[in-house]
Structures are given as structure tokens and as C-alpha cells.
Amino acid sequence: MSTGTTKSQSGSGSLLELVLIVATALALALAIQAFLVKPYRIPSPSMEPTLAIGQRVLVNRLGNRFSQPDVGEVMVFHPPAGAEEASQCANPGEGQGEASPCSRSTQRRAEVNFIKRVVGVPGDRIAIRNGRVVRNGVLAREPFVRPCEGEGGCDFPQEITVPPGHYFMMGDNRGASDDSRFWGPVPRDWLIGGAFATYWPPGRIGPL
């Protein structure tokens, strides 16, 4: 009688321990995703050839709280509201169809996430020539880009200055990327984190 009771109590204790382990592991996984590392799936060809549609990357959510993003870093961020539907520049004389890229975004952010590369930081002077960035008067070295090939947004010869606390973002596929050229630099508060590695598909696993 007493042996059966002991076994029953032992079984209940083991089940409770298992439930606690699973719950703790789940809580840790959610905390890591919420505050440290978040997976992100590439939804469009705007970052080709660096990142293909369907490829998955890991994003460091913590790093940008302690350091400033650098030129060349691939970032996940919230674009301005309306950027996911059409190009919107807060300055009507800039952006699509104009001589200069957009220097100021609309004030409200979208809830969707974009992934692009930082090509300009606060204070940088930015122009675009044949889809390539001219930063502070110097043509940037960008071996990772796919040429613009004459599509819209290839040339913005007039410089704009990136405002304080903002970052100018462009996709590597310059002829197929809706980016800061058309809807402006992104405020630091809208940045989610830097993509630092790819984990899918298996053939493309590695650091960025």
C-alpha cells in the first residue's frame, strides 16, 4: 500500500518536473526572440544577390541599443507608413521622378518590417549615380550590388544630407528595391536590429 503511494507520488513529481522544464525552455525561447535574436524571412528580391526570396536570417535585437549602426550593415527596420504600398516622401520635390533622393520620411512608422543595407549615417551627403551611392562626394565601393540597368531610381544627382538620428537604407538589388531613395531616411527608433547570419537554406548557412 505504502509502496504504491510512493510510486504514484514519484510519477506525479516527474510529470510536474517535465512540465516545468518545457515551460522554462519555452519562456527562454520567447525571451530570446523578443529581446536578443529574432529570425526573419526574406520576402522580396530587393536584397539580391546577397539575400534571396525565402532565405532566413538571424537579427540581433540587442546590439543597436548600445552602438550606432555602421555603413554596410544589413538592418531590419520599420519603414515609414505607406512605404509598403507606394513611395511616399515628406518633401514633395524629392524622390521618385525628381533630381534628389528623399531627405525626410513621413512621421508615422509602418508596422511591417523591411530589410535593407545602411548606406548613409547622420550627417552624410548622399546622391545616387547609376544605382550606386555617392557618399560625401565619393563613389562608394559596393561589390555586393546588382546593377540598376536604367530602371527608375538609378540616378539622383543632387545631394541630400541625412538628418541627425536617421539612417539611409537601400536594397542591394538597386533596380528592384523600394527604399530610402523614395520614402526617406529611417529614424533610429524604428530600427529593429542588424542581420548577422543566415540559417536557411542549408547551402547558404553562414555569417553576413
Catalytic residue of the set 38, 105, 116, 180: 116
Alpha-carbon distance of 17 to 3, in angstroms, equals 21
Spot the catalytic one: 38, 46, 87, 103: 46
114-149: b or e for each residue (b if 16 or more CB lie within 10 Å)? bbbbbbbbeebebbbeebbbbbeeeebebeebbebe
Spatial CA neighbour of 162 closest among 174, 170, 173: 170
Cell numbers 545602411 correspond to what residue? 118
Is 12 a known active-site residue? no
Known catalytic membership, residue 116: yes
Tell me the catalytic residues.
Answer: 46, 116
